[in-house]
Structure 1
Amino acid sequence: MTINEQEIIDYVNSIISHPIAIYDVKVHARNKRYLIELYLDNFENKYGSVSIGECETVSREFSSLLETEKGELDFVLRVSSAGAERELKIPSDLQRFQGLLVKLKHRNEEGKEMEKVYKILSVNEKEVHLEVFQKGKKKKAEEPIIVNLSDLIKGNLYVSI
């Protein structure tokens, strides 16, 4: 018995509903045994956090569905939240997490790669307006910067403790 990523997505989507959504699915197969890693998102939570209870419910319902639909499938299932410092899906997550801190890797005007922590001020279809994050005592605030979406390389939510 086999299973693929699209089947998993279809099964999970049949048991979850808004605001819970699939953030990512990873499937690892070894010797007819599958490790299924399911990462969930919550669109009503400011940070996208999913509770342990929600993960347990999805895990229980998905396992039951798999046992019914794919009875002979040998699998280990891990269900979790996408995480506090999840990777951003650019550009859609920039709008969603506006006002929060993010760690962005991007090219500057000279084409040099740089990585800093910013607060997302605003986003439009071409660019993102950012404020450099300064931990601790307030120094003289830097001017907000504008980065073209095409210059963004990767980003993650950032948690400052």
Structure 2
Amino acid sequence: MPKERVVDIVEQLTLPILQACDVELVDIEYKKEGGSWFLRVFIDKPGGVDIDDCSRVSEQLSERLDEVDPIPTAYFLEVSSPGAERPLKKPADFERAVGMYVHISLYEPLAGHKSFEGILAAYDEQQATVEFREKGVVKRVEIPVDAIAAARLAIEF
């Protein structure tokens, strides 16, 4: 079964569980590492998730996956927080991140850069505006949303 299909099926099985546990889905990853398959479900909530949240979701999701059995091969299920460098995937993720320090990678260079790290100053469904430092000077770039390959919160050093 294609990885994309597995992720779609798992997402549909996961959403009602997350809603009942009052947490949100950040991302689902299904990939092979070494000789083993891993199904990773990243969850979050305002104030962050704790081990009890992850355990509760893991137990319920594991039972549901055993019932439906959508994955034909053996795999390891991991439910965890997305961490400090949470990915930004959905418009709501970007909207929540306005004013925060982010890292954005692009498909193609823009203004001489293939990635930007700085404050997400603004976001709408067409573009993300990032304020970043280059040689001590604060600059601003408007990045078309369809040019973004990946985005995440970042830790500023």
CA–CA separation in structure 1 for the residues paired with 2:141 and 2:31: 41
Q: Secondary structure at the match of 1:26?
A: strand
For 1:63, the aligned partner's letter is: S
- Is 2:28 aligned against 1:25? yes
How many residue pairs match? The answer is 145
TM-score (norm 1): 0.67
- Is 2:101 aligned against 1:105? no
Identity of aligned residues (%): 20
Q: Which residue number in structure 1 is paired with residue 51 of structure 2?
A: 52
Deviations 1:115-156 (Å, cap 9, x if unpaired)? 23110111233332222158xxxx965243333334433322
Give the Å deviation of 1:56. Answer: 0.8
Gaps spanning 5+ residues in structure 2: where? none
Distance 1:140 1:20, change over 3 A: same
Give the Å deviation of 1:55. Answer: 0.6
Q: What CA RMSD, in Å, does the superposition of the two structures yield over aligned residues? A: 3.4
Gaps spanning 5+ residues in structure 1: where? none
Larger Rg: 1
Give the Å deviation of 1:28. Answer: 5.0
| Mean CA deviation greater in 55-64 or 148-157 | 148-157
Q: Which residue number in structure 1 is paired with residue 44 of structure 2?
A: 41
TM-score (norm 2): 0.69
CA contact (8 A) 1:105 1:113 kept: no
Distance 1:12 1:144, change over 3 A: same
Residue 12 of structure 1: which of 2, 11, 14 is its match? 14
Give runs of aligned pairs for residues 7-156 of structure 1, distance below 5 A. Answer: 7-17=9-19, 19-28=22-31, 35-42=38-45, 44-45=46-47, 49-70=48-69, 75-89=75-89, 91-106=91-106, 107-109=109-111, 112-132=112-132, 142-156=138-152
Higher helix share: 2
